[in-house]
Amino acid sequence: MGRLLLIVFMLVPLIEIACFVVIGRAIGLWPTLAGVVIMAIAGALILRFQGMAIMAEIRATMARGALPARALADAMMVAIAGLLLLAPGYFTDLVGLLLLVPPVRSAIYGFLGRRMRVVSTASTTAYSRPQDPLPASKGTIDLDESDWRER
């Protein structure tokens, strides 16, 4: 996993530089820079509206008494999309925009869902204190509060 992250952190800047060179050569310097700024502004606006919609969905799901697992996964992907859209570059903007598209998020959610296994650790039984004290183990003296005093 560490090697994969290292490769990603090395490849993404190279891809961004290549995109800037190719797009800059095709449309010029100022339109290229304007495109990055416009994408960041549009991404921030889209992020705000989708984020508010997802938060409303989370509240509604929790009000029904259900666990909003899907909405939380969507919120996480939208947050990652927002970070990618705010980062300067065309490649990160493209990936960020793709994460904002609900069918793409559904595909990612399905892909991850097939590869993960959820294990429930919660218990429905309440903790109850035993009525009879546990027997003292050998070599242990069990005293009540009135049976001892500080020196």
pLDDT tens string 36-90: 889 888 878 887 888 888 888 888 888 888 888 888 888 889 889 988 888 889 9
The answer to the question of residue 80 being in a domain is yes
For the chain, give the secondary structure using H, E and C.
CHHHHHHHHHHHHHHHHHHHHHHHHHHCHHHHHHHHHHHHHHHHHHHHHHHHHHHHHHHHHHHCCCCCHHHHHHHHHHHHHHHHHHCCCHHHHHHHHHHHCHHHHHHHHHHHHHHCCCCCCCCCCCCCCCCCCCCCCCCCCCCCHHHCCCC
Question: Based on the structure, what is the number of domains in the chain?
Answer: 1
Confidence class of residue 32 from pLDDT cuts 50, 70 and 90?
Answer: very high
The answer to the question of residue 99 being in a domain is yes
The answer to the question of residue 150 being in a domain is no
- Average pLDDT of the segment spanning 13-35: 93
Q: Is the pTM for the entire model greater than 0.85?
A: no
Reply yes or no on whether the pLDDT at 126 is more than 70.
Answer: no
Reply yes or no on whether the pLDDT at 137 is more than 80.
Answer: no
